[in-house]
Structure 1
């Protein structure tokens, strides 16, 4: 179903269909044939002109709806040959629980028979009257009461304290029908049919429609709610504090909602991988979902509106729209499909009862469409039914089989607007609303899912969009080869950007401009691994952050120099730290090999490749002289020590001499 046109503009049309009886206007009229003797038989074109005015007045204090339906019919079936045609009964649909059903014509009560239909919410009242021949007219005034049924009964009609939902109809020729619904002005109004106008008269407001959806007249399910008449409860769960508003006296629904929010919000936070984002203050029980055919998340009022059904999966679906909504996810099929799949996963996790996952629809049905074409403005109920089910099927198949950690990794990235070509959690590069292209990348890259493109071709894309998958496949193969060549590093930023945006021609041009840079990036990492040193952060950044032609070209010089510098520093560090005997160790100390190697390593860490390479080469050159330097130093020390000993002996001889007397 579609949102009424008078919905406030901030209302976010995020909703999930709920089961409701598909009522249809019906006509029960009797056509009889009177033969005229001597004339041949003939088949007649049945014809009946109809004008209907219906008025439904909600009597809140009495807890009932009073309906008056005035119909004027004219026999428009002329005689044919020897056959005359007349009508002797006429019927209107009414809610199955209607009571005090009466029909009068020209001040006379008519016999009325009420019959059930296949729809448990609908009955047909048939009145009998004297024969109505061609050209004759009869006006019938019907009246009945609609008391409604208790919540969660099979009959969808409700009339309770502060709320009501019921069917209204007026069968007749185009331009000859009208329906009026009279409500207390304090009550809200919703209907399955667009086009109701309103006019306030003191304490009541009359809603009027004169055009239906087809030639049968006006038919709609309407709902009314007095927002002041509620039972209220507050609940805190996870990061959310919500107000629950239920029908007066519906304690069972309040307990259900309290338990559902209490278990559901923390579980949703775990599955989605993000804390409660806010933007929701209330969960409200209402009859409007019975009228509209769906529950919804209203961003304008910061509320969830759900029916009386105790459906945990439905509640979790609407709660999940706090994350999966048009502000964060682009494409109705994607945010509805994510909400549905996550809701059922959470329901399974917490052991909550709810509706079963939707059955997979027929992709070849008349209502089928590529899911990217499914819009909020869709008016076809059949298309809505198909698209909700197909969205659930598509997203379910894309994420099927993922373990909890991987499932959350994909879903969390989709909510955060991450690019699959960036590191998990990185929202500093290329953050944007996740749409079908980004989601496919996330499913394949973060989820490791194979066959995702096939799911897209089957359910999601039109012919033109399927053509994009072929270009993507070729670009992805080239990207994978490049990413393999550059080792643990991410490909350059400019290339990641083009892949994120599916600009595959530009991606190919960047790949060509990079030339041997990816392979050189791998060599830098291999050299660092072999040398036992760290790759300079600035070198890695130069590669990963490259974002224009100049940066790509510069890599051709930077990366080879990095290979040389890394290798040289590794060799210098090894040479400076080699095991030595006492003489060689003495020479190494004199030559300051270890401090020089440390200075070269520091220059490498700082990204000064020239200084690192020169310093390392100097260490290597001097390291071979460590032994000879040590020997020379020892000899020099010995020479110095030998000279000192000789000097002492001479001095002693001089001190021992005696003077010879003359």
Structure 2
């Protein structure tokens, strides 16, 4: 469960003395003595019982208190009590106080909490050594939703304050509910006992020095109004108090406009993990709303508060599974919520920066959640300070930069990896990773100072000292190696804040970054892509042996890339027809393409051999082309002579041509000649490897 702050009308703690003394009077006979304070002069014991029956919309309460005056007389001075008070819900009805079978006069007086009153009963003076038992009874009817008084009693729900004033070990509070109802309380000391159709929740553990003070909330899930809302394929069920259509309409509108805005702000699609949004008074009771991943539900108060709604929805992304520290999870969700409210045309009331020097101030890295034992003042400070820190860090970023930082933090990315990458150095985001992301993805200056002021303890502040120098040194490597990322071993050390390991990695790389840039420059000059395997060897290097390999691999890759570029350029050069014929015969294009393929495949030596062969053949192309032309001309001359001889013979001896096949003989210079198939004619250099071809004399 992720508790988040209830907003605006949180229930204030009730600050009560152990008793309210209406008539603590010092009777002066000879000399007035010092007045004794109530908790020094009175013993208290109480048993309080609150019962809500099925199909009823009121809670019936009985409280039995027994007090004893233990303030001794001092000479002629004595002390006595004439009244006693207990806290009750403000709207109680039928209030009675009975002692020894006699009804006592009872009045109601205001407290600091608008939901609570003091019920004051008056009685005859209670002298030293005397005791008095008072039996109180009253009915709690509840107030309408969204009223200032948080007491609620309706069909299937109830929220009210319980109390029991008494000394430690002498106080009991019981709450009896139908078995169909859930139970929440500001104290986690209640035990549960089922009996038939009811459950009795009991606590005997004082919540403070005065006794027990706990606000409880009960709910019958089957008696809620339900509505299904669908937004961009996401279906959610809204559960409201019976008849509270205003809340349902508010949440429905908020989801329709808010979910898409949240997706855009966080930079991630809706992750799911939520089925129900439930209206309850429990957030007002406990002091916080919550996202319960175990039940796939959000529980928010009846207040129509967009910030709280979007804050809880944002926890679907930004939660302890993704963000290691509470201040980071709560601060990010709160800043996102206010941003979404503004983007959707709403208005919000952000937390004000708290007093860093207040008594409850603490480094936010020590602010931890412990539902059931939350100090309200510390909680208020924690939420306000968390919002203040995150707002200072990323609140001023434009939408793109803001989303880049939030999305990377949610995804657990390392600032030393490419955006969107989770192949290396992925992890749960803590303050160190978040600081790196804020500076490197968000470009924010002064972020360490903010963390020093609000978040870090002394040991964590000390970890910042070597960071600045390590980041400067890393930036030099990252700048020197061009578009490639620095080697994995260095990136991992920086991600983990192992700055000693980072220093060792930089020393072992000695010049590799500059060599990597040389490879990229050679590829750019050649119009080629740098070999992917060479880039991978550089970027994935993480051990000393792998760093040493780079010392020879990268220079060799640069040289071979240059040679392949020259070979490709030579093959692509426009030449005269004779040289072009030579290139065709020698297969220059083929060897150049093979050199390119070998280089792309990372076979540097094969690429070098093919590049060398290409350049050699390109140089020989004019000579080979000229030879081919001479051979062809010689062949044509011989063919003409043969045709003439054949024609003379044809005139002398008509008939078939010896050897088979008809011959059409005409002037070879003016007409085409059809000759019998007399065997294949071999063109010089036309074998499997023309440059390595055999005898260059061929007869027709």
TM-score (norm 1): 0.90
Question: After superposition, where does 1:42-57 map in structure 2 within 5 Å?
Answer: 42-46=33-37, 47-57=41-51
1:372 aligned residue: 365
1:17 aligned residue: 6
1:164 aligned residue: 158
Structure 1 residue 155: deviation in Å? 0.7
User: Structure 2 CA distance, aligned partners of 1:639 and 1:215?
Assistant: 122
User: Structure 1 CA distance, aligned partners of 2:274 and 2:230?
Assistant: 12
Structure 1 residue 169: deviation in Å? 0.9
User: Structure 2 CA distance, aligned partners of 1:81 and 1:272?
Assistant: 75
1:111 aligns with 2:105: yes
Q: Which of 11, 19, 24 lines up with 1:31 in the alignment?
A: 24
User: Structure 2 CA distance, aligned partners of 1:644 and 1:252?
Assistant: 104
- Per-residue CA distance 1:96-118 (angstroms, 9 max, x = gap): 11122222222222222212233
User: Structure 2 CA distance, aligned partners of 1:162 and 1:649?
Assistant: 119
2:404 aligned residue: 409
1:351 aligned residue: 345
2:603 aligned residue: 608
1:480 aligns with 2:471: no
- Per-residue CA distance 1:416-455 (angstroms, 9 max, x = gap): 2222222222222222222222222222222222222222
2:275 aligned residue: 281
- Per-residue CA distance 1:181-218 (angstroms, 9 max, x = gap): 22222211111112112223332222222221221011
Question: After superposition, where does 1:127-206 map in structure 2 within 5 Å?
Answer: 127-206=121-200
Q: Per the alignment, in what secondary structure is the counterpart of residue 190 of structure 1?
A: strand
Structure 1 residue 500: deviation in Å? 2.0
Q: Which of 456, 459, 462 lines up with 2:457 in the alignment?
A: 462
Structure 1 residue 626: deviation in Å? 4.9
RMSD: 2.6
User: Structure 2 CA distance, aligned partners of 1:43 and 1:495?
Assistant: 74
Question: Unpaired segments of 5 or more residues in structure 2?
Answer: 648-700
Structure whose CA Rg is larger: 2
Q: Is the 8 A contact 1:149 1:155 kept in 2?
A: yes
Structure 1 residue 586: deviation in Å? 4.8
Q: Per the alignment, in what secondary structure is the counterpart of residue 153 of structure 2?
A: strand
- Per-residue CA distance 1:223-280 (angstroms, 9 max, x = gap): 1111111111111113421111111111111111222222222222222222222211
1:655 aligned residue: none
Q: 1:593 to 1:88 in 2, by over 3 A?
A: same
User: Structure 1 CA distance, aligned partners of 2:488 and 2:232?
Assistant: 37
Q: 1:407 to 1:70 in 2, by over 3 A?
A: same
Q: 1:638 to 1:222 in 2, by over 3 A?
A: closer
User: Structure 1 CA distance, aligned partners of 2:160 and 2:13?
Assistant: 11
1:6 aligned residue: none
Q: Is the 8 A contact 2:311 2:336 kept in 1?
A: yes
- Per-residue CA distance 1:103-138 (angstroms, 9 max, x = gap): 222222222221223321111122222222222222
Structure 1 residue 325: deviation in Å? 1.8
Q: Is the 8 A contact 2:6 2:308 kept in 1?
A: no
User: Structure 1 CA distance, aligned partners of 2:199 and 2:214?
Assistant: 18
Question: After superposition, where does 1:6-405 map in structure 2 within 5 Å?
Answer: 12-18=1-7, 19-24=9-14, 25-26=16-17, 27-29=19-21, 30-36=23-29, 39-46=30-37, 47-352=41-346, 356-377=349-370, 379-405=374-400
Q: Is the 8 A contact 1:17 1:385 kept in 2?
A: no
Q: 1:61 to 1:585 in 2, by over 3 A?
A: closer
User: Structure 1 CA distance, aligned partners of 2:590 and 2:86?
Assistant: 102
Structure 1 residue 519: deviation in Å? 0.6
User: Structure 2 CA distance, aligned partners of 1:643 and 1:308?
Assistant: 107
User: Structure 1 CA distance, aligned partners of 2:214 and 2:203?
Assistant: 10
Structure 1 residue 634: deviation in Å? 6.2
Q: Per the alignment, in what secondary structure is the counterpart of residue 213 of structure 2?
A: strand
Question: Unpaired segments of 5 or more residues in structure 1?
Answer: 1-11, 653-662
Once the two structures are overlaid, the 10-residue window that deviates more, 424-433 or 615-624, is 615-624
1:659 aligned residue: none
Structure 1 residue 471: deviation in Å? 2.3
User: Structure 2 CA distance, aligned partners of 1:62 and 1:648?
Assistant: 124
Q: 1:251 to 1:641 in 2, by over 3 A?
A: closer
How many residues of Structure 1 are paired with residues of Structure 2 in the alignment?
639
- Per-residue CA distance 1:445-485 (angstroms, 9 max, x = gap): 22222222222222222111122222222222121111111
- Name which structure has the greater RCO, CA cutoff 8 Å, separation 6+: 1
Structure 1 residue 588: deviation in Å? 4.6
Structure 1 residue 153: deviation in Å? 0.3
Q: Is the 8 A contact 1:16 1:336 kept in 2?
A: no
1:435 aligned residue: 430
Q: 1:649 to 1:282 in 2, by over 3 A?
A: closer
Structure 1 residue 582: deviation in Å? 4.4
Q: Is the 8 A contact 2:107 2:121 kept in 1?
A: yes
Question: After superposition, where does 1:615-630 map in structure 2 within 5 Å?
Answer: 615-626=610-621
Structure 1 residue 628: deviation in Å? 5.6
2:539 aligned residue: 544
- Per-residue CA distance 1:74-96 (angstroms, 9 max, x = gap): 22222234422222222222111
- Per-residue CA distance 1:540-593 (angstroms, 9 max, x = gap): 111112232222211111111111111112222223333444455455555544
Q: Is the 8 A contact 2:335 2:395 kept in 1?
A: no
Q: Is the 8 A contact 2:26 2:32 kept in 1?
A: no
Question: After superposition, where does 1:500-511 map in structure 2 within 5 Å?
Answer: 500-511=495-506
- Per-residue CA distance 1:317-369 (angstroms, 9 max, x = gap): 1111111222222222222222211122122222245x522211222222222
User: Structure 1 CA distance, aligned partners of 2:600 and 2:520?
Assistant: 14
